[in-house]
Chains A and B, each alone.
Chain A
Amino acid sequence: MEPDASIETSSMIRVAVLPIAGIPPLLFRDYAAMLLRHHTVSLNSISSFYTEHQKSPFANQPWESGSLRFKFILGGSPPSPWEDFQSNRKILAVIGICHCPSSPDLRSVANQFAAACKSYSSSLVQRCFAFCPGDSQLEEESNKGSNLVLFPPADRQTQEFHLQTMVQDIAASLLMEFEKWVLQAESGGTIFKTPLDSQASLSSEEVIKAKKRRLGRAQKTIGDYCLLAGSPVDANAHYSTALELTRLTADFFWYAGAMEGSVCALLVDHMGQKDPVLEDEVKYRYNSVILHYRKSFIQDNAQRVSPLSFELEATLKLARFLCRRELAKEVVELLTAAADGATSLIDASDKLVVYVEIARLFGALGYHRKAAFFSRQVAQLYLQQDNKLAATSAMQVLAMTTKAYRVQSRASSEPASDAGQSYADGGKMHHHSIVSLFESQWSTLQMVVLREILLSAVRAGDPLAAWSAAARLLRSYYPLITPAGQNGLASALANAAERLPLGTRCGDPALPFVRLHSFPLHSSQIDIVKRNPAREDWWVGSAPSGPFIYTPFSKGEPTHNNKQELTWVVGEPVQVLVELANPCGFEVMVESIYLSVQSRNLDAFPVSVSLPPNSSKVITLSGIPTKDGPVSIPGCIVHCFGVITEHFFKDVDNLLIGATQGLVLSDPFRSCGAAKLKNAHVPNISVVPPLPLLVSHIVGGDGSVMLYEGEIRDVWISLANAGTVPVQEAHISLSGKNQDCVVSVASDTLKSALPLKPGAEVTICVTLKAWQLGVMDADAAASKGVPGTSGKQVKDGSSPMLLIHYAGPTTNPGKLQMGSVPAPGRRLVIPLNICVLQGLSFVKARLLSMEIPAHIGETYTKLVKSRSDGTAQENGSERSDRFMKIDPYRGSWGLRFLELELSNPTDVVFETSVSVEIENPINKESLSDRTCAEFGDPKTRIDRDYTARVLIPLEHFKLPVLDGSFLTKGSQMDGITGGRSSSFSEKNIKAELNASIKNLISRIKVRWQSGRNSSGELDIKDAIQAALQASVMDVLLPDPLTFGFRLAKSSSNNSANLNPPKQADMQVYCASGGSIIAHDMTPMEVLVRNNTRETIKINLSVTCKDVAGENCIEGDKATVLWEGVLTGIIMEIPPLQEIRHIFSLYFLIPGEYTMSAAAVIDDANEVLRARARTNSSDEPIFCRGPPFHVRVNGTA
């Protein structure tokens, strides 16, 4: 049984092609290839070499159209026992090929060739082709007469021509030899025997039988030779005779052989034309061939030899002849029969050949699965032979089946174009991969195939194939393999890797599974912002400024497009997160894994990972872009189990999709407990030329800045250009929460430092003011009462961020063409990590009122005097301001203080001071020193864990704003000013008052200092407002009437200018500086001022009381003399005017007296009533002035 058998095989002359005298195998193959081209030599071309010695037995030889066919058998073959039966099995010619430079001695070459030819006894022609002989060899005479043919060195074409000539010469010689042989055979009495005939010494019966059969057999053999000589008509004639004779002698085997020959002659005659009639004829005859081969089966020697192989060969020949899709059914039947028959073949190699042929024919029919099945059978037969070559063959045959079973190695299956596809379009699965996923469910068969490949590769000593098979097996079928089996595969991988040279690459990835996890966006430190060349402020709107990546309010389109793009910068390391999974029961050591970059513009850094059994890991792979342009990252290069493999993300993605659809056995990531990952989005990555890179650090440490509430501090931020391109422009802005805590940023410093050269550094100052902690925080801290720990770490995101947009030169260096996109700018985000600690805390605010009656003494007089000197030019309101001082000698009536209770829960000491900013610029100069002196200097020290109270005189900040209009407004209490209606509206008043209170409050500041460098301001606005809210009217609004007393003596000097507007201010001016003396008439005047806009009628009365509180004016024990009316003084005071009522007092007894004025207002309007908070409209409104001390000295 021979492979490649076809019907035409019978017409081919077998030629052994032998390497002679140590020709290098490659050269031999090369020369043989040249020879193999001449497998058909037309009779026409050999006529010149042919000489007819005697009459040719091939009478009907078609010299014009016929040809001789050669079947070159490289390396030759042992003689077949069936040579006599089928002459085409004989080696009829031997061609030696030798390479002269490698074997200089031509004589020995000739000897060696002669020796080689000895084993081919059937050969009729022998030639040894010696290529490339040297000059000396050419001249050598010794080779004359031998079979040595020298091919002088020449170009290829000449050589081929030379070779063709030599082949034609051989063909002619063979033809002549055939003629000789046929003539001999016709006359001679040669006995043709086959192994089927009894080998034992012939019994007489046998001899007779043989003699009878001889003629038929001879005819058949002559037919064979005719066929070989290219004369089908002659052959047919002889075959017909042979058929006749063999049928008569019941020599079925030879009958079948003759029939086979006749079919061949028929086909050769028809020169390969195929028509249905011919086809039917061939089918009919071949069926008879098969039948007769079967008939020739002899039970006697079935153990030794059987015509079965011929039967099968005939079947296969027919199948090959018919092998077309349309005739698939018949072919399948033939092949099935052949396969069935093959099981009873004795010779293993015959069986092998049958299966090989069956597999090939099925493959040719398009029945790939069947072809694969029989290929596997072949491989199993090979594996039964326990040698390395057979194992290699088995491996190769199995490798051919992998396609049908969808387990092929990627190295063989995937064309380069597929691998070249960018990963970006990996969203959709390719049809091919879908089908392979479906087919991958024949796991039972697939595993068997892979296991056999592994086995055969191990036996054949091909470590790479073994590694590849084990890798495929492990990767695809790990869920079906027991842990022990998995370990076995792992050790198979390791064993294979040991035999492989270091750095071997394999197309099939093993473990681990690698999938893309994510592309981390640029850290906020190196964010890249597209630069709009048309705008000066290119950064505006180009990047999210808030904490949200997507804002519904921003224009949708540009952000949408940006999302898919990722920009990397040459020279700056980048990172990609990948997830590795090891679903197997052993530990996987990944010696190195790094990104595989097709665009070759990224230097990837290898990482080594170890994955415990059934685990997954997300790792960061990094690299540095080296050149600008697009980057595509299709997968990772993994060095694991001693071999380098490329793992494509796309494959794993397909696998995972398959897993979700139930097509794949299991999801390796899920089985490892990895979190479900959304399909990782692969952005278009592009690399841009180098950009500047600002690196910031906060001087004094990058940690949080610890600030007490309200603390103000400067933070120094150092910015260095770590890139290779200078920073040409920079812009600082703020973002995030609590932006108002950044008081100032020294952006000028940065601007002035531009351009910032690579490596240059600039330090800018940022002034921060800590914000207030929330009430909750403060409460919590207070309730805990733990000093010093109250500063809870603020939650992330509450700190503001400093955004610096900066960019290098507009044009790329080296790319100066117009219209080019400018190099992008960058954004540096510096989070100002502010940790606000609870500082001085406010406990409560209280409004206190205080009454200090004015009294006259020496000191007092002095003070008044000095003051009147200093303020001679100042207006009344200015002067009245003085009265607000808290001065025990001066006194104040109804003075109100705001008492702030502050506690210090921290572990440091605070010092607080209250300051009031005066709005009026004129006042500022004169008052600022005093403000400092009075409210700045006396600092209140609050020790840790203590509380302290700070007093703020409200009068002080009430007066500066009580200018004329406000006073009017306040006194009228209904906001007449501004043309409003006079109807009373409490609500309006409130609102306006609130506004003015806020204004007032904003000017009062409680500053604190702690230690050397902590200082700040207490935010107590709300507290003050809350405290003032209740008694706001009392604080801010004057009473409708203001009463004052003074000595009439001095009135001539300055009383005209005097305008004490305040109810609480009551002074007695002693122009002379002297005191009131008893027994002297003291002229006095009472001043009543109307603070409203309406004329008020009053009934004024003045009371004087002595120390004992007795009324001095009326009653029996009057100690005071009086002049003028002291009760029931009817007055009418025009709006905002002051009326003086002069009276005199005559004190009889020296001592302390108190004077006070009071008035009953007649016909009070609603404003007054509201101010007085009366209940009923007829209730009299009574106004009373503050008491006033009078010291009466005795006469000296």
Chain B
Amino acid sequence: MIVCLAVVGHQNNPLYIQSFTEADDALKLHHMVHCSVDVIDERVDNPKKSGPTINETFLGLLCPTENYKVYGYLTNTKVKFILVTTDLDVRDADMRTFFRRFHAAYVDAVSNPFHVPGKKITSKTFAERVATIVKSFGLTTTG
């Protein structure tokens, strides 16, 4: 189950951060997302280490913690998508598909002429669409 999704901007500023849990652990998830930026930063800064995957947008598992797994995705505009999930065994392929769908939603959201690049995404449509994607992800993995 995906518990948190975040879009982190070019300057490591959060553009969108949404948790999908009932529990009051938003702070914890925020911290997790915030810390994951470190890992992404490191990968962005040392591209030669990730040699063959230079054009790969999917960053894979960023940091496995006790109960969560954090996956990352980097767009070519250096916008980061960070996903926190409680599913401990997720196939990378599923994750890629998910991120691709999420990326499409993000592109649509920022294509809105009223959206100011660099500002937080406040579009309700985007939020709804993301919620749908998250829900369907849960279905495909469990089902």
Residues of chain A at the chain B interface (Cβ within 8 Å):
325-326, 328, 332, 336, 339-340, 343, 362, 366-370, 373, 376, 434-435, 438-439, 441-442, 444-445, 448, 661-663
Contacts and interface: CB of A to CB of B under 8 A. Distances in A.
A439 B13 contact: yes
B62 to A, nearest CB: 9
Nearest to B13: A438
A325 B46 contact: yes
A131 B117 CA distance: 68
B11 A369 contact: no
A373 B63 contact: no
A695 B34 CA distance: 65
A369 B118 contact: no
A367 B62 CA distance: 13
Given A339-B65, A367-B39, A661-B118, A445 B30 contact: yes
Q: Which 10 A-B pairs have CB atoms at the shortest separation, nearest pair first? A: A438-B11, A662-B119, A438-B13, A367-B38, A340-B66, A369-B38, A370-B35, A441-B13, A369-B35, A444-B30
Given A336-B64, A435-B11, A662 B34 contact: no
29 contacts: A325-B42, A328-B42, A336-B64, A339-B65, A340-B65, A340-B66, A343-B66, A366-B38, A367-B35, A367-B38, A367-B39, A367-B42, A369-B34, A369-B35, A434-B11, A438-B13, A438-B118, A439-B11, A439-B12, A439-B13, A441-B13, A441-B120, A442-B13, A442-B14, A442-B34, A445-B27, A661-B118, A661-B119, A662-B120
B34 A332 contact: no
A663 B118 contact: yes
Nearest to B64: A336
Given A366-B38, A366-B42, 20 more contacts: A325-B46, A332-B63, A336-B63, A336-B64, A343-B66, A369-B34, A370-B38, A435-B11, A438-B12, A441-B120, A442-B13, A442-B14, A444-B27, A445-B27, A445-B30, A445-B34, A661-B118, A662-B118, A662-B120, A663-B13
Contacts of A368: 38
A370 B35 CA distance: 5
Contacts of B54: none
Contacts of B93: none
Interface in B57-101: 63-66
Given A328-B42, A366-B42, A438 B9 contact: yes
B116 A444 contact: no
B117 to A, nearest CB: 10
B120 to A, nearest CB: 7
B31 interface: yes
Interface size range of chain B in the complex: 20 to 34
B39 A373 contact: no
B37 interface: yes
A332 B120 contact: no
A373 B35 contact: yes
Contacts of A328: 42
A282 to B, nearest CB: 22
B18 to A, nearest CB: 12
B26 interface: yes
Nearest to B49: A326
A1169 to B, nearest CB: 84
Nearest to A362: B38
Contacts of B34: 369, 373, 442, 445
A369 B33 CA distance: 10
A435 B118 CA distance: 12
A435 B37 CA distance: 14
Contacts of A325: 42, 46
B65 A336 contact: yes
Interface in B27-57: 27, 30-31, 34-35, 37-39, 42, 46, 49
A339 B46 CA distance: 25
A444 B31 CA distance: 9
Contacts of A362: 38
A970 B118 CA distance: 88
B26 A369 contact: no
Contacts of B14: 441-442
Nearest to A443: B14
A442 B39 CA distance: 17
A688 B46 CA distance: 56
Contacts of B46: 325
A662 B116 contact: yes
B31 A373 contact: yes
Contacts of B64: 336
A845 to B, nearest CB: 71
B119 A448 contact: no
Contact of A444 (B26, B35, B37, B63): B26
A694 to B, nearest CB: 55
Contacts of A444: 26-27, 30
B8 to A, nearest CB: 10
A373 B70 CA distance: 16
A1020 to B, nearest CB: 68
Contacts of A435: 11
Nearest to B45: A366
A662 B30 CA distance: 20
Contacts of B119: 661-663
Contacts of B27: 444-445, 448
A441 B119 CA distance: 10
B5 to A, nearest CB: 15
A367 B41 CA distance: 9
A343 B65 CA distance: 12
A435 B11 CA distance: 7
B60 to A, nearest CB: 11
Contacts of B38: 362, 366-370
Contacts of B12: 438-439
Contacts of A439: 11-13
Contacts of B49: 326
Interface in B83-132: 116, 118-120
Kindly name the residue among B14, B27, B46, B49 whose own CB sees the greatest number of chain A CB atoms within 10 A.
Answer: B14
A448 B27 CA distance: 9
A373 B9 CA distance: 20
B23 to A, nearest CB: 16
A373 B27 CA distance: 11
Contacts of A336: 63-65
Nearest to A405: B34
Nearest to A661: B118
Contacts of A373: 31, 34-35
A376 B27 CA distance: 13
A931 to B, nearest CB: 84
B30 A442 contact: yes
Contacts of A367: 35, 38-39, 42
A366 B35 CA distance: 12
A376 B34 CA distance: 13
Nearest to B42: A328
B13 A369 contact: no
A366 B42 CA distance: 8
Nearest to A447: B27
Contacts of A369: 34-35, 37-38
A283 to B, nearest CB: 19
Nearest to A444: B30
A498 B11 CA distance: 40
Contacts of B9: 438
A435 B9 CA distance: 11
Interface centre among B11, B34, B118 (most CB of A within 10 A): B34
A418 to B, nearest CB: 20
A332 B42 CA distance: 12
Contacts of A339: 65-66
A373 B32 CA distance: 9
Contacts of B35: 367, 369-370, 373
Nearest to B119: A662
B15 to A, nearest CB: 8
B100 to A, nearest CB: 25
B140 to A, nearest CB: 28
Contacts of B116: 661-662
B137 to A, nearest CB: 24
